Structure 1
Amino acid sequence: MDRLADTSLVGGERVDATDHCLAGIARLSNEVKDAASYIPTYDQRIYAEAIKALQDKLSETRAMVEPRPKFSFKTKKNPSAVSLADAAQLAVEGRRHIPGYNSSPGTSSVGSSAAQTPNYPSTPLNEPDRQLQPRAEVAPTSIPALTVDNAEKLKPEEQVTPFAAPAVSSVTVNNHYGLHIMLPASGSTATVPASITSLRHCVVDMSIPTVNGKPYASLAVKGVKESLLVCGQIDGPAHITGVENSIIVVTCRQFRMHNCANVDVYLSSSSNPIIEDCTNIRFGRIPRVYALDQDCPDLDCWNQVEDFKWIKPEPSPNWSLISQDDAVAEEVWAEIVPGGPGWSLDDILRAIKIVKA
C-alpha cells in the first residue's frame, strides 16, 4: 500500500498493485474464516479489527493516489418528471374515463418505470460460501429477520452457527436445549432489536456482531434456565424476565429485570439497573474481554441497583455484589467461554459455575 503512490499508471501497473492488495486482504479474511471454529472469540475480534483497518487504509491510500476525475456535468432527474412509459400509461388510464371511449381488445398495460428491481443479499465477508445455493429474492420493502429457532429438543453435543443475511430486521434465538450458539459477525449489520426466549442448558454468544460499533437496538430475554447469555452491546434497554439459575453478560443503556431468581449479572450500564420481584440476584462489573474501549468506570452504574419492590431504608436482601472469590476469572471469559476443541458445552457451564463440578 505504501508503494502505490510510486507505482506507474502506465500499462495498468497501479491497478495491478491495488488488485494485489485487495487479494491479500481477502486471503487473510478467508484464513480467519477457516480458523473460526477453533480460535477464541477474543482473537476473532482482534483479527476482524485488523482486517477492517487494512481495508480502511487501502481505501484512504487509493483516494490519495488516484488521479482526480475530469470535470463533467451530471444530469439530475427531476423528481416530478415521468418517463415515456409512465406517460403512455397515464394516457391509457385517462382515456378509459372519457365517455364513449373503449380500449381495443387485447391491449396490454404499459409497465411503469417506477418498478424497483429486487435486491439479492450477497454472501458476507468471513461467512460460509453459499454460491452453490439458489438465491431468494428479497422485496425492496421487506427486510428478513435472523431467527435461530427450534421447536424440538436437540442433543447436547450438537452445535449451531447460524448463517445471517447482510441486512436483518431483528435477531431472535428461540426454543433450544443443550446448545452452544455463536452468532457470526454478520448477525447484525444495523441497529436491530434482539430477543432470547425459551432456553435451557445453553450458551448463547451474541457479542461478535456488535464488536464493530453495530449494537442491537434493544434486548428482550424471557424464559431462560441454567444458561449463559453473552448479549453484546445494546444501544437501548435490556428487559430480562423469568430467568433462573443463569449468568447474563451485557452492556446497555438501561437494565430492567423482572421475576428472576439465582442470576449473576455481569453488567455495564449508563443508568441505574432496576429489579422487581427478583430474589438472589448478584451484580458484577463487565469482564474486560467484553468491555468497550471507551467505557468510563466513573460513569458506569452497574452497582447502583434499585429494587422497586423494596421501599425500606435498609439495603434490599434481593440483590448483592459478586465477591472476588465467586466472580468468574478473566481467563475463563477469554479462553474457555468461546469454546473450541477440547471444550464441551458442559465444560463451559462448569467453568462459569452454572453446573456444579
Structure 2
Amino acid sequence: MAESESTWAFSHDFETQFQELRTQLGARIDALKGNSTADALSTLSLDVAKLAKLLADATGSLPNYAQRQCELQVKALEKSLEELRTSVPKTKFAFKRKAPAPTVPSPPSASAGVAAAKPSPAPTATTNLSISCRSKHYLSLDALPPRDAPSSDLTISDLTQCIVNLLPPGDALQISALHIRNLADCVLLLPTIRGSILLHDLHRCVVVVGCHQFRMHTSTNVDVYLSISSNPIIEHCSKIRFCAYPTETNAPLAGITLSGRSNLSIPKTPYFRNWMDFYRTDCLSGSWTH
C-alpha cells in the first residue's frame, strides 16, 4: 500500500511539472511563428529535447496511460517545432555594394586604438551540446562547442551522409543523455553513456552506442550495435537490425559500413530476446531482427 501511494505521488508531481513545462514550450513555439531566428529555434529544440529526456527518465514509474499521453504531447511539440523550422525562409545570397571610402580618413583616437587591441570574447560555454545541419562531413569531438562541465547532454540532428565518431570519449567529456533525430545515411560511433538515448526518424543509418535506456521511434533500415542495462523500447519502426556493442571499442571500426556488416567480435547474449515494442510490451517486438 505504501509503495502504491508513493508511485501515485510521484506520478502526480511528475505530471504537474511536465504539463507546466509543456505549456511553456507550446507558448514559446506560438510566439516564434512568423518571427523566428536560427538561434531561437536551436534553443527551443534543446529545451524540447530536455522535456523528452525528463519523460524518458520517468519511464517505469508512471502509469501506462499517463506515459502514453505524455509521449503524444512530446511528439506534438516536436511536430510543431519541425513545422516552425521548415517555415523559416532560407537566407538568399546577395552582393552588397561597398560604401565609398572617405577621402581624408580621420586619425584614430587613443581610446579606439585600445579597443581595437582587445581580443574578441571566447565562445560561450554550455552544458547542452549540439551537432546539427551537416551534410557529407566527418564529425569528431572537435565538432562540439565549448563546454563548462564534464557531463553534458548531446543532441545530434538533421544530418545527411555524415560519420559522427565520438570514440574514444576520454576524460574530458561524459555524455549524460543522447537525443538523435532526422538522420539519413549516417554512421554514429558513440561511447557507452550512463543515461538514456532517444532516436527519432533515422533512415539507412548505423548506430554504435551503449546506454542505460534505449528508445527508438519512426525509423527504418537502421543497424544498431547496442549495450544496454534495461529493456529497449521501439515504436513505429521497420527493418531494424540489432547486435551487441563491440567488445573492443578501441579496435578499428572501418569494418562497419552502411550495410551494417562488421568484422568485430560480437558476444552472444540471450538478452536480445527481451526487446519490446512500445505498444505491445507483453510480447516481443516485430520491428527488429537479430
Structure index of larger Rg: 1
Select the structure that is richer in helix: 2
Select the structure that is richer in strand: 2
Return the TM-score normalized by structure 1.
0.39
